[in-house]
Chain A
Amino acid sequence: MAIIEMQETGLGDLTDTQSSTSRAGTSAEPSNAVMRLRRPTRARAESSDVTALCLFVLVVTLGLWWQHGGVTSIIDGGIDRLRAFGQLTGLIAALASLGAIILTARPAFLERKYGFDHLLAAHRWFGITTVIFVVAHSVIGTLAWAALAQLSVTSGLVDLLANEAWMVAAFVSTTLFVIIGLSLYRRVKNALAYETWYFLHLTGYLAVLLGFGHQLTLGSDFLVDRIARWWWIGLAVATLAIVIWSRIGVIVRSLRGRLYVTAVSLEAIGIGSIHVNGPSLRRMRISGGQFFIIRPLAKGLWWQAHPFSVSAAPTTAGIRFTIKELGDDTPNLLNVKPGTRVLLEGPYGVFTAEQAAGSPVVLIAGGVGISPIRAILEDCGPEQRPILIVRLRHEGDFAHRAEIEDLIRARGGQLHLLVGPREWFAARDPFAVQSLTTMIPGIADRHAFICGPTSLESAVVKGLRKSGMQSSNIHLERFGV
């Protein structure tokens, strides 16, 4: 491991000046100076609670719609049927948008349970549902309005926009949702720089806000029925409270954290480690394998937030993140000067050794996916007989190789290296049932931890499932969706 930059920072409260080399590999064993950080508390919410709450909100909302004659109108037919469908699609769109906002706010009670990656995946589905139902609602609503007023569709639309409160806002909101929906297409997303896409995506908050007005003024459901009205306002206020508490609270906490970069080291080609410490570190609860969203407070870097995994057992001597520089045109994160303040948002994720609960494990990493896998390996005991499979394009891409070999040896585990370009493995798939069962004895009783490119993850999951592993024993980290 080559240390490319290492210096004392001269900050008064920097008590730990341990070099990054001595941290490597052996830091899990607490000495009198270095103590392991406490692990995060378990999530209090049960899956059934969350499901029950979601169902409750859905049933009450649709129940109010039913009570206001929604179902009767649909059965009776006529113009009212069109309007009832318009209301139904609108209600679903609004609920889905609130759900998407709550999911992306990643409040701790959900994040500890499901992990950031699953919340993001769910956010995506809630978001797509929102866009589809917003468009359907706009079309059906306009048609219904025009039919009721006995106007042509165009005049009906003009009438809505010109005369009804918050309807211009509602149509601007629809336009924003459509733009956000289009930006989800892989091609569009890839054509944009990540932050350009991210900032555009943030206009979704504006879209939800602009859509709210007409829900109260135009929809008779919330205009007349006071209970319905307060229910609806209550849902919006609750969502707002979760967003403020969860998003803004995180920023405040990280600003008060007073953490900074103590060292940056190069681990492999394009892969490096950032070491972070600070006075607030001792109070943090972190498990190896979790990740943080890191913002270095340096010129050109502070507004770029990227998720990075904790790659070694976190101790009072500091946290180590192992990252890959993607060769973007942005200032390089690995060039951050020691002493630079960083904002850490997290820890996030449930990709930790605790998931295995002491069972035997197999760890599978692709490329820089080795980062959280390395930390999980460190948290495994010899009784878990860890088997590590590392898939790399080049042997030089293997970060933390020496540490990992030491950890494997200390635990009596095995290391399988699969090195070479993809074409080499085209003929004999290393993740086919036969090769997996050969490499992994007792495969059915093991827990699997997988981190790497999506293609690798899906190939491995498929192979493991076919080899008889239960899906509840397979753990993935999919951050950066």
Chain B
Amino acid sequence: MGTLARRLAPAAALGGLAIAIVGLLDPALAASRLPAGDDMTAMTPTDTVARQGAASTATCDSAETVTGPIVTTRWGPVQVAATIAGGTLCEAHAVVWPTSERQSRQISTDAVPELDAQATQQGVMLDGVSGATYTTEGYRDSLQQLLDSL
């Protein structure tokens, strides 16, 4: 091994190891950022309905409002309410979200409107908001249970 190779080796090994660890283990680089819960693997007919997205405006005029259960997440409780017309989701919005801690408060004020919009569009298969993992999980959970109860 030449002098250059010998002197470069420790740094190259260290840098390579660092990149390999991050590439293999960091959640940001994993295929899906958001954890796929048990409720996602068992698809029910309700999910299929909910996933089809918003019902037509006409049917939504006579929609009824249903409230999901309170789901406790690490940062606090999440509860979702939704308007349903003929078993189809018209619109979803959070009624309770974590506000206890400063950080949660900030995340919620930004993330909750985003989650509402996503849920109304995509139903329980909503993309989620990165950086608000637990709130997303709680939101999805509450909405899922709401739809299951119909």
For chain B, residues 22 to 42, give those with C-beta under 8 angstroms from any C-beta of chain A: 22, 25-28, 33, 35
Q: Does A164 contact B (CB under 8 A)?
A: yes
Q: Does B86 contact A (CB under 8 A)?
A: no
Report the separation of the CA atoms of residues A209 and B103 in the bound assembly, to the nearest whole angstrom: 25
Contact assessment for A193 and B7 in the assembled complex, using a CB-CB cutoff below 8 Å: yes
Stretch at the interface among B11-19, B52-60, B139-147: B11-19
Q: Could you give, for residues 201-218 of chain A, a 1 whenever the CB lies within 8 Å of some chain B CB and a 0 otherwise?
A: 011001000100100011
What are 8 contact pairs spanning A and B, CB under 8 A?
A165-B26, A167-B26, A169-B28, A206-B18, A210-B22, A220-B131, A223-B110, A303-B4
Report the separation of the CA atoms of residues A12 and B27 in the bound assembly, to the nearest whole angstrom: 59
Main secondary structure of the interface of B (DSSP, over half): helix
Report the separation of the CA atoms of residues A162 and B7 in the bound assembly, to the nearest whole angstrom: 35
B contact residues around A164 at 8 Å (CB): 27, 133
Q: Does B62 contact A (CB under 8 A)?
A: no
Q: Does A153 contact B (CB under 8 A)?
A: no
Contact assessment for A203 and B15 in the assembled complex, using a CB-CB cutoff below 8 Å: yes
Report the separation of the CA atoms of residues A155 and B18 in the bound assembly, to the nearest whole angstrom: 23
Determine the residue in chain B with the shortest Cβ distance to A164.
Answer: B27
Q: Does A239 contact B (CB under 8 A)?
A: no
Determine the residue in chain B with the shortest Cβ distance to A83.
Answer: B103
Q: Which of B10, B21, B28 is in CB contact (< 8 Å) with A165?
A: B28
Report the separation of the CA atoms of residues A193 and B11 in the bound assembly, to the nearest whole angstrom: 12
Main secondary structure of the interface of A (DSSP, over half): helix
Report the separation of the CA atoms of residues A161 and B11 in the bound assembly, to the nearest whole angstrom: 24
B contact residues around A202 at 8 Å (CB): 11
A contact residues around B14 at 8 Å (CB): 176, 179, 200, 203
A156 to chain B, nearest CB (A): 11
Q: Does B43 contact A (CB under 8 A)?
A: no
Give the most central of A193, A195, A199, A203: most B CB within 10 Å.
A199
Q: Tell me the number of A-to-B contacts counted with CB atoms below 8 Å.
A: 98
Q: A168-B26, A199-B10, A199-B11 are in contact. Are A149 and B74 (CB under 8 A)?
A: yes
Report the separation of the CA atoms of residues A330 and B26 in the bound assembly, to the nearest whole angstrom: 40
B contact residues around A167 at 8 Å (CB): 26-27
Q: Which of A149, A162, A199, A224 is in CB contact (< 8 Å) with B8?
A: A199
Q: Which of B4, B10, B15, B27 is in CB contact (< 8 Å) with A206?
A: B15
Contact assessment for A169 and B22 in the assembled complex, using a CB-CB cutoff below 8 Å: yes
Contact assessment for B7 and A199 in the assembled complex, using a CB-CB cutoff below 8 Å: yes
Determine the residue in chain B with the shortest Cβ distance to A159.
Answer: B74
B contact residues around A79 at 8 Å (CB): 101
Q: Does A80 contact B (CB under 8 A)?
A: yes
Q: Could you give, for residues 169-180 of chain A, a 1 whenever the CB lies within 8 Å of some chain B CB and a 0 otherwise?
A: 100100110010
Contact assessment for A203 and B18 in the assembled complex, using a CB-CB cutoff below 8 Å: yes
Q: Does A163 contact B (CB under 8 A)?
A: yes
A contact residues around B18 at 8 Å (CB): 172, 175-176, 203, 206, 210
Q: A165-B33, A217-B28 are in contact. Are A200 and B11 (CB under 8 A)?
A: yes
Contact assessment for A195 and B7 in the assembled complex, using a CB-CB cutoff below 8 Å: yes
Report the separation of the CA atoms of residues A175 and B21 in the bound assembly, to the nearest whole angstrom: 12
Q: A162-B27, A220-B107 are in contact. Are A330 and B21 (CB under 8 A)?
A: no
B contact residues around A80 at 8 Å (CB): 101-102
A contact residues around B12 at 8 Å (CB): 199
Contact assessment for B26 and A224 in the assembled complex, using a CB-CB cutoff below 8 Å: no
B contact residues around A195 at 8 Å (CB): 4, 7-8
Contact assessment for B130 and A220 in the assembled complex, using a CB-CB cutoff below 8 Å: no
A30 to chain B, nearest CB (A): 42
Q: Does B149 contact A (CB under 8 A)?
A: no
A contact residues around B11 at 8 Å (CB): 196, 199-200, 202-203
Report the separation of the CA atoms of residues A200 and B10 in the bound assembly, to the nearest whole angstrom: 7
Report the separation of the CA atoms of residues A162 and B28 in the bound assembly, to the nearest whole angstrom: 10
A contact residues around B75 at 8 Å (CB): 148
A contact residues around B101 at 8 Å (CB): 79-80, 148
A contact residues around B22 at 8 Å (CB): 168-169, 172, 210
* 10 A-B pairs closest in CB distance: A199-B11, A165-B28, A168-B26, A195-B7, A220-B103, A196-B7, A169-B22, A224-B106, A168-B25, A224-B110
Q: Does A63 contact B (CB under 8 A)?
A: no
For chain A, residues 291 to 316, give those with C-beta under 8 angstroms from any C-beta of chain B: 300, 303
Q: Does A423 contact B (CB under 8 A)?
A: no
B contact residues around A330 at 8 Å (CB): 3
Q: Does A23 contact B (CB under 8 A)?
A: no
Contact assessment for B133 and A163 in the assembled complex, using a CB-CB cutoff below 8 Å: yes
Determine the residue in chain B with the shortest Cβ distance to A226.
Answer: B110
A contact residues around B25 at 8 Å (CB): 161, 168
A contact residues around B33 at 8 Å (CB): 165
Q: Does B109 contact A (CB under 8 A)?
A: yes
A contact residues around B35 at 8 Å (CB): 163
Contact assessment for A220 and B106 in the assembled complex, using a CB-CB cutoff below 8 Å: yes
Contact assessment for A68 and B106 in the assembled complex, using a CB-CB cutoff below 8 Å: yes
B115 to chain A, nearest CB (A): 14
